[in-house]
Amino acid sequence: MDKVKRALLGDRKAQAELTKQGRKLPCHVCGKKAKIMFREGLFVIMCSDEYCDCLCVAESVRSMAIRKWNERPEILTPEEIRRLEEME
C-alpha cells in the first residue's frame, strides 16, 4: 500500500512524511487534487473543484498549511492497515 493510501486511512506517519515532502493529499470531500495559493499573507489550500463544499486551510507558513490539510482521522488502526498490506 502506498503512502497516500496509508495517509488517507489515517496513518499519522505517512501523513507526516508526505507533508515533509510538500505533497498534498487529495480533497477530503470529493477526492480531487488540492491546490495551494498565496493570498493576503496566507498559504491557502483548497480543492481544485470550485463546486466542492470542502473547507479550505489557511496558514501563514506553507508547511503548516500542508500539514493541516493532510491531517485525516484514523479510519483503520495500524494493526488493520498491517493486515490489509499482508493481503496484497
At 18-68, the pLDDT tens digits run 999 999 999 999 999 999 999 999 999 999 998 999 989 999 999 999 999
pLDDT for res 16: 95
Residue-level pLDDT at 73: 86
Contacts of 69 by beta carbon, 8 Å cutoff, 6+ apart: 24, 25, 34, 45, 57
What would the grid cell of residue 15 be? 501523513
Is the full-model pTM beyond 0.75?
Answer: yes
